[in-house]
Amino acid sequence: MATNSKIQWATATWNVARGCTKVDEDCKYCYMYRESFNETRYQPKEVVRTKSVFNLPLRLKEPSLIFTSSLTDFFHPDIDTYRWEAFQIIAQCPQHTFQILTKRPERIWKCLQQALKLAIDNNAVFAELMLRHWVNGNAPKNV
Q: Is 100 in the site for ligand SF4 (CB under 6 A)?
A: no
Q: Is 30 in the site for ligand SF4 (CB under 6 A)?
A: yes
Nearer to ligand SF4, 17 or 127 (CB): 17
Nearer to ligand SF4, 73 or 85 (CB): 73
CB of 79 to ligand SF4, least distance (A): 11
CB of 122 to ligand SF4, least distance (A): 27
Gap between the Cα atoms of 23 and 28, Å rounded: 9
Nearer to ligand SF4, 19 or 57 (CB): 19
End-to-end Cα distance, the chain: 17
17 Cβ neighbours under 8 A, 6+ residues apart: 47, 48, 49, 50, 69, 71, 72, 76, 78, 79
Q: Is 22 in the site for ligand SF4 (CB under 6 A)?
A: yes
Query: For the CA atoms of the chain, what is the radius of gyration?
Result: 15
**Helix boundaries (H) for 22-142:** 31-38, 83-91, 108-121, 125-135
Gap between the Cα atoms of 33 and 30, Å rounded: 5
Query: Which residues in 59-88 contact ligand SF4 (CB under 6 A)?
Result: 72-73
Residue 29 burial by Cβ neighbours in a 10 Å radius (0-12, 13-18, 19+): exposed
Stretch that binds ligand SF4, among 10-18, 23-31, 90-98, 119-127 (CB under 6 A): 23-31
CB of 6 to ligand SF4, least distance (A): 17
**Residues within the interface to ligand SF4 (CB under 6 A):** 20, 22-23, 27, 30, 32, 72-73, 103
